Structure 1
Amino acid sequence: MTTGVAARESYFERTGEHLYKPTAHAGGAWSADEQHFSPLAGLIVHAMERHLATRPATQPGNSALARISYDILGRIALDECEISVATVRPGRTIELLEATVVIGGRPVVRARAWLLASLDTSSVADSPDERLPAPEEFSPWAMGEQFQGGYVSSIDVRRSLPSRRGRAAAWVSSLVDLVAGEPSSALASYIALVDTANGIAVQQDPTAWMFPNVDLTIHLHRQPQGPWTGLDTTATFGPSGQGLTSSVLHDVNGPVGHAEQILTVRPQTSPPSLA
C-alpha cells in the first residue's frame, strides 16, 4: 500500500487561465461571506508575475517591483474572481502594470505596480529604520480572539506587547499556499500577509468599532524574503470617521519598505461591507 503526501492547503484554486476560486482560508475578518484582502493582494502580484513571464524574450526582465497600490472598489465576495493584467507603460528601466479583479461581473479591486530596473547599489544601501527583533523573540498572539475569519485562523502571528493603543510590532507567517499546486514567488507570498497590519495595532475593540481599509499601498526599497512578514505598525483614528494604518515592513534581514492603509472608521452597528 502506498501512502502519499497530503496536499498542502491553499488560499485559492485556479479554475481557468485568469480565474481563481477562494477557499475557506481566504475568509474575511469582518464578514464570513467576504474575502480577506491580504491573500488577494498576494494573488494579484502572482498574476502580475505570470503576465511578466509571458513577455517576448527581447523585452528586459531585470526589474523589481518597487511600489504597488491597491484600490478596493467594493465588497470582495468569497466567490470566483477573474484577474486581468495589462502593461500600461512599458520601458527598459521603468515599467507600469495594472491589474483588475472582477467578481460577478463587477470590478472590485484595481492595482497598479511600478517596476524599476535592478542594479548594484549595495555600496550606498542604508535605512534609518531599526530592524525588528527576530520572530522567536516575540510571543505567539491569538489574533482569532479579536478577529474572525478563515484567513486569521490560517496565520501564525508573533506580536510584541503593545506600548499603547495603536502601536505594535508583529511577525506573520502562513503554511497555506497562495494557489493550489502552483509555486509562488517570495514576493507574492510576502505581500499576501501585509494587509494583516490593520489588525496588529488595534486602536479600538473590533467588536464595537469597524475600521476596514479601502486601499493598500506598498513601497519597497529591497525585495523581501520569507517566510516571515514583519510589521512595525501605527494605527491612527481621526475625529471624523477616517483612520490610517502605517507600517514599516521587515523581513528577517531588516527593513524592506513601508505600507499605508486608509480606513473608514464606523461603529459596529454600521453595515459591514464597503458600500
Structure 2
Amino acid sequence: MPADATHEPYFVALGDGRYRPTERASGAWQPGEMHFAPLGGLLTHAIERHRGARHASEAAPLLLARMTFDILGFLALDETAVRVETRRPGRTIELTEAVASIAGRDVAVARAWHSVALDTAAVEGGAAAPLPSPSAMRPAEFAGEWGGGYVRSIELRDDGDRAPGRGRAWQRTAHPLVEGEAVAPVARWIGLIDAANGIAVREAPDAWGFPNLDLTVHLHREPEGAWVGFDTTVSFGPSGQGITHTALHDERGHVGFSSQTLTVRPAPAAG
C-alpha cells in the first residue's frame, strides 16, 4: 500500500518553512493536539531537505545514524514553523538540528547525526531477532481508548499475542507526510515510529496517562520500504517514570532501535 496522493496528507507545505497540519495529524491524548509521530517525520523531512541542498554534489553520501527528538510542550494542531541549522558540518560526520514552533513558541527539537557510508559488510553482526513478516501477521487496531486522526490513519498488523507491556506489530500508512514538497523515504519511515508507545500498552490509556517526553532512534542501516516493524517492551517504574523500548525492522530485517521516556500518571477520570 504505497503512499497515494488521493489520501489526505499529514501536513500541507505553505512555504518558508511553514506547514499546516491536517486532521490526519491529530493526537491521541486530548482534542486539539498534534500526534508527535507525524511531527517527528516532518522534522526529519526538514533536516533531510536542508542537507540535500547542502550536499547535492558530494560523491560519498552521509546516512542517518541517530535522531533524537525532545518534546518541549503541548503540540497544538496548528500552523507549524520549522527552522533548520547545521550544528557540526563535516565530510564524514555531521550534526543537524531542526526546531518546530507553533504560535511563536518552540514545541519540539530534533538533532540528527549522519555518518559517511562505507562498506562494512565483512564485519556486520549483532542484529536483533527476526520479526515475522507483515503478511504473517493479522490485521489489527489500536486500543479503542486511543483517539485522534493519526491513530485512525495507520494500517496495523500484529501477531495476536499482545500482553501488557509487550507486543510485536507492523505499521504503514497510505497518507503522504507532506503535500507540496518531495519527501525522503526515511522521513516517512521515521514518521511512524512514535506510535510504538501505543502498541504494547501496560495500562489502558483512559485509566493511566503515559505520554512520552522524547524519542530517540538509532539506525545501523538505512530502512527500506513502507512497513515499520516493532518488537516493543514497555516498562513502568515505581515513581512516575517509564520507558518504551523497540527493536525496529523493515521487511529485510533489523534496522535499529528506538526509546521513549514516559511520564506515568493516573488519568484525570481515574482520580
Shift of 1:8: 3.3
- What is the SS of the residue equivalent to 1:140? strand
Root mean square deviation of aligned Cα: 1.6
Partner Cα separation in structure 2 for residue 159 and residue 58 of structure 1: 42
Matched, 1:246 2:224: no
| Identical amino acids, percent of aligned pairs | 49
Corresponding residue for residue 21 of structure 1: 20
With structure 2 as the length reference, what TM-score do the two structures score? Answer: 0.94
CA contact (8 A) 2:67 2:113 kept: yes
Tell me the residue number matched to 1:90. Answer: 89
| Aligned position for 1:42 | 41
Q: 1:61 to 1:149 in 2, by over 3 A?
A: farther
* Cα distance, 1:161 vs structure 2: 2.6
Q: Is the 1:235–1:246 Cα contact (8 Å) retained in structure 2?
A: yes
1:61: how far off? 5.5
Any runs of at least 4 consecutive aligned residues in structure 1 with deviations exceeding 6 A, and if so which?
none
1:132-178 CA deviation, whole Å, 9 max, x = no partner?
00101111112152310000000001112335310101100000000
Alpha-carbon contact 1:12-1:23 (below 8 Å) kept: yes
Q: In structure 1, what is the equivalent of residue 52 of structure 2?
A: 53
Measured in 2, the distance between the counterparts of 1:144 and 1:21 equals 28
**Counterpart code for 1:75:** F
Aligned partners of 2:180 and 2:159: how far apart in 1? 34
Output aligned runs, 1:55-134, within 5 Å: 55=54, 62-134=61-133
Q: Which moved more, 1:180-189 or 1:40-49?
A: 180-189
Q: 1:132 to 1:74 in 2, by over 3 A?
A: same
Q: CA deviation at 1:127?
A: 2.6
- TM-score, length basis structure 1: 0.93
Deviation per CA, 1:52-71: give whole Å up to 9, x if none: 12216566651101001000
Between the aligned partners of 2:240 and 2:56, the Cα distance in structure 1 is 49
Q: Distance in 1 between matches of 2:150 and 2:191?
A: 11
> SS of 2:41's equivalent?
helix
Q: Which residue of 1 aligns with 2:155?
A: 156
CA contact (8 A) 2:162 2:200 kept: no
Contact 2:5 2:176 in 1 (8 A): no
Q: CA 1:182/1:20 → structure 2, altered by over 3 Å: closer, same or farther?
A: same
Please, which runs of 5 or more residues in structure 2 have no aligned partner?
Answer: none
Q: How many residues are aligned here?
A: 266
SS at 2:15's partner residue?
coil
In the alignment, which residue of structure 1 is the partner of 2:264? 265
